[in-house]
């Protein structure tokens, strides 16, 4: 598991790697995904490193709530509230997590279809 200087998202928070930031608070950062899966695809992360959303929620429930609050603000500012959007936390290898820093995907801007193809 990555952390600190080895973590892609920690490096984005530190300003070492550029990102298209759409919202920032003292504790969270929201930026556009470089490989968008929908017309709107924004990642929302805590600035503090936690490997996944479960670790985040156990260690700092208030920060987990701030991530959700930032995700809601992103959905609002991106115009997704009227038609709806999807908020996803991929957790662990089976859940499809690729970067092991807790993050939410805010997806929308078109009908997204079923959650999982069968």
57 φ, ψ to 5°?
Answer: -65, -35
Contact 43, 22 (CB under 8 A): no
The angle formed by the CA atoms of residues 19, 21 and 26, to the nearest 5 degrees, is 115
Residue positions annotated with a catalytic role: 103
Q: Exposed, middle or buried by CB within 10 Å (0-12, 13-18, 19+), for 116? A: exposed
Between β-strands 85-88 and 40-46, what pairing exists: parallel, antiparallel or unpaired? Answer: unpaired
């Amino acid at each position: 598991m990555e952390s600190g200087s080895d973590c892609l998202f920690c490096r984005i928070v530190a300003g070492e790697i550029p990102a298209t930031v759409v919202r920032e608070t003292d504790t969270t950062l929201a930026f556009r995904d470089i490989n968008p899966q929908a017309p709107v695809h924004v990642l929302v992360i805590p600035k503090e490193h936690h490997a996944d959303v479960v670790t985040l929620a156990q260690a700092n429930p208030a920060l987990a709530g701030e991530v959700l609050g930032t995700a809601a603000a992103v959905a609002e500012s991106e115009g997704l509230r009227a038609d709806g959007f999807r908020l996803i936390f991929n957790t662990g290898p089976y859940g499809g997590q690729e970067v092991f820093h807790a993050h939410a995907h805010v997806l929308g801007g078109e009908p997204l279809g079923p959650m999982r193809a069968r």
